[in-house]
Amino acid sequence: MDQQWKIETRNVQAGWQPKKGEPRVLPIYQSTTFRYDTAEEVADLFDLKTSGHFYSRVSNPTVAGFEEKLASLDGGVAALGTAAGHTACMLSVLNICTAGDHFIASTALYGGTLSMFTCTLKKLGIEVTLVAPEISPEELRGHIRANTKCIFGETLSNPSLKVLDIEKFAALAHENGMPLIVDNTLATPYLCRPIDFGADIVVYSATKYLDGHAVSVGGAIVDSGKFDWSGGRFPELTEPDPSYHGVVYSQQFGAQAYIVKARVQWIRDSGAYLSPMNAFLINLGMETLHLRMECHSANALALAEFLEKHDKVEWVNYPGLPASPEHDRLRKYLKRGSGVLTFGVRGGMKAGEKVLNSLKMAAVVVHVADVRTSVLHPASTTHRQLSVEQQREAGVSPEMVRVSVGVEHIDDIIADFAQALEQV
Ligand SMILES: *Cc1c(COP(=O)(O)O)cnc(C)c1O
């Protein structure tokens, strides 16, 4: 494959590279297992002495096609498909944090990630400190402890739509010998490549724009291969692993140490691997990622401009609007504004509900980032498990309506919101 290819070309051409007589399109390898000739060959695979697919709980050729494409798009050395985006977020942290460890995360996160970090990981003995994305370097340094293992943030947060200052957090992580993990779900590699700005690990909910058609749940972790694990903070990567006959990941796998460990420990033990069918569908979606992201972004900007001028709308949050406080950072880190916006209707929660219920084309669904325009009320759904205070910290207000702007004709999208606003 040509590494010089532009991202549009790699969306279509990267990943599956058929040899003579093989299927042109990434095939679905719907097989749990793979044939070898001798017991020794299989034993070597188990010992990680050689590489090859042997069991679809750990790796599969269809999923590998998706993994190779995504790693290429992001400029990483390797990627790992996971059963869901949530799995990717969780394993990205568990891969380097054990009981007694601590990490730092931005408050501007997806609701499910916030409760996973503050409740589920806490039960496993891993403590998180949540910090405002605007935190000063001095203040952030004050939160770093001897047992702090990483910093976690979202490129474009869902649903508060804050743009992460990736360079600031990467510099602070690196000066303290730890990696920056970035959830790039709403941006996608087409709008932003976090590794170019210093992120070390990138995670995705592939359920969103990568698939793009709301047909499959999946996720991924991408390893930049740039982080040096040998500083002493990460013995799990630099000391023998008893569950693999004492393999030392950083020695045996070099730049791929983190991602190999995530696969052979966490995916092996949890089985939370992406299925071949879902990898096939997500890969198919990714072939048009660049076309869709341009259209989502243009439509979202046009709808944001319409709502901004509407006298029944109190506020609009879309980082693509020049008036947005996020606009300068958007221009630095992202090619476009992506397809999600939020707004508040005058009259608060009741009026917001009326608009939601009056939409005819845009459907109320618990999803973002597919081709169909959809709406959601975060406070009563995705962020329901959080207190009002936590909701506010995550950028969710009671009246907020979240719109995932689709790729329908913009006139039809605007007409739907115009008629719904008239019902208030
Ligand atoms: C949806 C989402 C997740 C969780 O992904 P699933 O595929 O639903 O498990 C994580 N992060 C962000 C930013 C999301 O939007």
> Is 112 close to ligand 1, i.e. is its CB under 6 Å away?
yes
Rounded average pLDDT over 239-244 = 90
Q: Transcribe 240-267 into DSSP letters.
A: -BGGGTTB-HHHHHGGGHHHHHIIIIII
Query: Which residues are bridge partners to 222 per DSSP?
Result: 79, 202
Q: State phi, psi for 122 to the nearest 5 degrees.
A: -60, -40
- Using CA atoms, how far residue 358 sits from 188, 302, 369, in Å, is 31, 20, 21
Q: State phi, psi for 8 to the nearest 5 degrees.
A: -60, -45
Rg (CA), the chain: 22
Ligand 1 atom 6 nearest Cα:
85
Cα 141 to the center of its chain, rounded Å: 26
Q: What is the DSSP letter of 116?
A: I
Locate the DSSP E strands across 121-179: 127-131, 148-154
> Is 313 close to ligand 1, i.e. is its CB under 6 Å away?
no
Using DSSP's 3-state secondary structure scheme, residue 82 falls into: strand
| Model pLDDT, residue 2 | 65
Query: Residue 223, CB half-sphere, CA atoms under 13 Å: how many?
Result: 25
> Among candidates 206, 198, 96, 91, which has minimal Cα distance to 148?
96
> Among candidates 153, 173, 150, which has minimal Cα distance to 98?
150
Helices (H) and strands (E) counted in the chain, each on its own, are: 19, 12
| 1 — pLDDT class (breaks 50, 70, 90) | low
> Among candidates 283, 285, 287, which has minimal Cα distance to 62?
283
Decide yes or no: CATH 3.90.1150.10 for domain 289-421: yes
Q: What is the DSSP letter of 209?
A: T
- Total residue length of the chain: 424
44-60 pLDDT per residue, tens: 888 888 889 999 999 99
Cα 18 to the center of its chain, rounded Å: 28
Sheet holding 401-404, edge to edge: 313-317, 340-345, 401-404, 374-376, 363-364
Q: What kind of fold does domain 7-285 have according to CATH?
A: Aspartate Aminotransferase; domain 2 (3.40.640)
- Ligand 1 centroid to Cα of residue 84, in Å, is 8
13-25 pLDDT per residue, tens: 999 999 999 999 9
Peptide bond into 159 cis (omega under 30): yes
Mutate to test the pocket of ligand 1, among 91, 93, 158 (most ligand atoms within 8 A of CB): 158
Cα 340 to the center of its chain, rounded Å: 15
Report the nearest atom of ligand 1 relative to the CA of 219.
7
| CB within 8 Å of 376: residues ≥ 6 apart | 159, 364, 365, 366, 367, 368, 382, 401, 402, 404
- Ligand 1 centroid to Cα of residue 272, in Å, is 15
Using DSSP's 3-state secondary structure scheme, residue 303 falls into: helix
Ligand 1 atom 8 nearest Cα:
85
- Spatial distance between the Cα atoms of 156 and 171, rounded to a whole number of angstroms: 19
Domain residue spans of the chain:
7-285, 289-421
Rounded average pLDDT over 275-300 = 98
> Is 89 close to ligand 1, i.e. is its CB under 6 Å away?
yes
- Is the torsion defined by CA of 169, 170, 176, 180 positive or negative? positive
- Spatial distance between the Cα atoms of 155 and 192, rounded to a whole number of angstroms: 8
- Token digits of residue 93: 């942290």
334-386 pLDDT per residue, tens: 999 999 999 999 988 888 889 999 999 999 988 899 999 999 988 878 778 87
164-205 pLDDT per residue, tens: 999 999 999 999 999 999 999 999 999 999 999 999 999 999
Rounded average pLDDT over 122-141 = 97
> Among candidates 72, 98, 106, which has minimal Cα distance to 286?
72
Percentage of the chain surpassing pLDDT 90? 86
Q: Which single residue is written with the structure tokens 């009002």?
A: 388
